[in-house]
Amino acid sequence: STSLGLQGALGVMAESWCTIESDPGVFTELIDRFGVRGVQVEELVSLDDAEFGRHRPIYGLVFLFKYRKEEDPRPSIDVMTEEPGLFFANQVIPNACATQAILAVLLNTPEIELGATLTEFKSFSGDFAPDLKGLAISNSEEMRTAHNSFARAEPFVMEESKVATEKDEVYHFIAYVPFNGKVYELDGLKQGPIPLGAVGEGEDWLGVARPAIQERIRRYEGTEIRFNLMAIIRNRTETLTDKLRVREAELQAVEVAQGGGEAMEVTGGFELASGADGLAAQHVAVSQAILDLKGEIQEEAHKFENWKVENIRRKHNYIPFVVTLFKLLAQHGHLRPMIEKANTTRAEQQASRDKAAAAK
């Protein structure tokens, strides 16, 4: 009876977590609702160095793929004894997997300012086993509320929840994070974290994670093309602003040198050009770099504004508006002519396609 009681409790929890869209704007606002500051999510279009370079510093990766049950020969570790500081939670609620993968990155990155909610949660659940950590996530009112704030408005209430079958498309999220000199794949459906390799001094952890992601994609080649790779990164406006300050200091140093003043010391190994012509060319180059950075900062502001608008649209229920529109069109005698015109147009298009097919 205890097992049945637990299954019932899990069923109630599962129904209380909605599915949310895999989108960088959604995930960025979700992280913000957790109380985390200075972090955003960006979609990666490739696994090459240039794409990684555009988004540094990268705290962790979240990979979305179509789930299928398969054997994984890679050994996982006992996180409680082998890496007790690593936050790893088993997934107990299907709809929470996106949030759980994001938490796996946030809670394992010391540089991130977690805020009160996640700091308290990490402290509270720190000594829990992975299954209890999963239950703690599922029972967190703050996390569930933040997650469910991105529920799409449902125009119709279904009496029963449909149980997924093998034919249904089920998507799953896993995380890749550097921790304590190693890189781990964190999949809540596995018993424990999967170590992917050590990161040597001066090495890039993404170089260790990349082959594992490439191998996962390779296994699906020919049968599945829908993948989604997100990077959880430092807020780009903050990163770009830091770069802008450095460039502005460089420009000031160039202008002082052009005026015959004493050479200023600039961090980052910046060296002044020699001669008037060299300084003039350097002034042009640094000034252009400053303009480029200001342009990128402006683009970030526009992107966040677009994300905000899109997230509002996602949550809005348009059905009452559409129903009212149809009612008004019918009341004014416009609906039937519009339907007849649409049917005529469709018939003409079909006749044109049939004629083209017969001519081949």
Q: From 50, 51, 103, 39, select the one nearest 229 (Cα to Cα).
A: 51
Q: Under DSSP, is residue 173 helix (H, G, I), strand (E, B) or coil?
A: strand
For residue 360, what are its two tokens?
């081949």
Cβ burial, residue 184 (10 Å; 0-12/13-18/19+): buried
The one-letter amino acid code at 354 reads D
Query: How far, in Å, CA of 170 to CA of 161, rounded?
Result: 15
| φ and ψ of 311, to 5 deg | -65, -35
Q: Can 97 be counted among the known catalytic residues?
A: yes
Q: Which two tokens stand for residue 31?
A: 């992280």
> Does residue 75 have a cis peptide bond before it, meaning omega lies within 30 degrees of 0?
no
Other CB atoms within 10 Å distance of the CB of residue 237: 18
Query: Residues 97, 147, 283, 302: which is the catalytic one?
Result: 97
User: In angstroms, rounded to a whole number, what is the distance separating the alpha carbons of residues 346 and 338?
Assistant: 12
Strand order in 171-179's β-sheet? Answer: 39-44, 228-234, 58-66, 171-179, 182-186, 194-198
- Under DSSP, the state recorded for 261 is -
Name residue, tokens 């005698």.
333
Residues 207 and 52: beta-carbon distance below 8 Å: no
Q: Is 172 a catalytic residue?
A: yes
Residue 36, exposed/middle/buried by CB under 10 A (0-12, 13-18, 19+)? buried
Query: For residue 177, which of 266, 86, 90, 251 has the smallest C-alpha distance?
Result: 86
Q: Helices in 177-230 by DSSP H: which ranges?
A: 206-220
Catalytic residue among 172, 302, 332, 334: 172
CA-to-CA distance for 164 and 94, rounded, in angstroms? 11
Catalytic sites, residue numbers:
97, 172
